[in-house]
Structure 1
């Protein structure tokens, strides 16, 4: 199969199935922007892993619909984690004046952590931020940055060791 045929097949598949994939994503996320993100991610995964294009139409549809469902659930799970984090930090932000010292210490520590992270090598910093701030798993980070999962793990280990060492000193 030539690249041109694959391109045309992919475009035809996108035109035919993207509304259904979008509806599945929207059904789970209940958010237009998130559903559009899911749609884009699912078709990008299909494009990068073109082996499903060689299957039957029914198997490709199943692959896309299941991918949309799984991606939507992942997004909801990550949103729940972020909401949980926001709720856990909220008490620090609502403390009275008697706890000013604790809030100041917390902010100082947060600033120190940010400075350490900003001092990391670019890829290492990017992996750390995707892992800790966007709550992405190693496989997703590896896919997004086009690096191996082992490299992601190495960058995270390096970032965490650097944080630990510099915070101890």
Structure 2
């Protein structure tokens, strides 16, 4: 790593919000090996682990202005990697299940209107989940997208199961309200 001033995590986050390349570079070099080790320990393929770590840093840079880290930067990044790993594993599992039990072509036949509606609903769901508070969004995604239980989510994020339940309730209420108004205008 090039010689750069060493900053605390709090200072790094402040500088990152001000578009500091130096802060981002320091965060990258300080945490890349740790994040890679976490991802590689759970995955069989190191290329997949590298890809996940790169996604974490890309997302950190993309969301640098809006990100709020309530715990340490190290804990946040470690939880983000675990979340991405579990999401990746769940997606791979779903793909293998889909291939094993793929329905006949007649069942898959849908109209272009059905495809358009499905796409609009998926986009709406994505938009709504992105508007959730950070912890609430993480809990929702770990539950619904990665398929983790409340106990697994609590362990991954280092929070209590009760907090997981509260965050899920909060997320589902917001989704229900948002979809109710969306579906009213949609149909």
TM-score normalised by the chain length of structure 1? 0.47
Q: Hey, which of these two has a bigger chunk of helix by percent?
A: 1
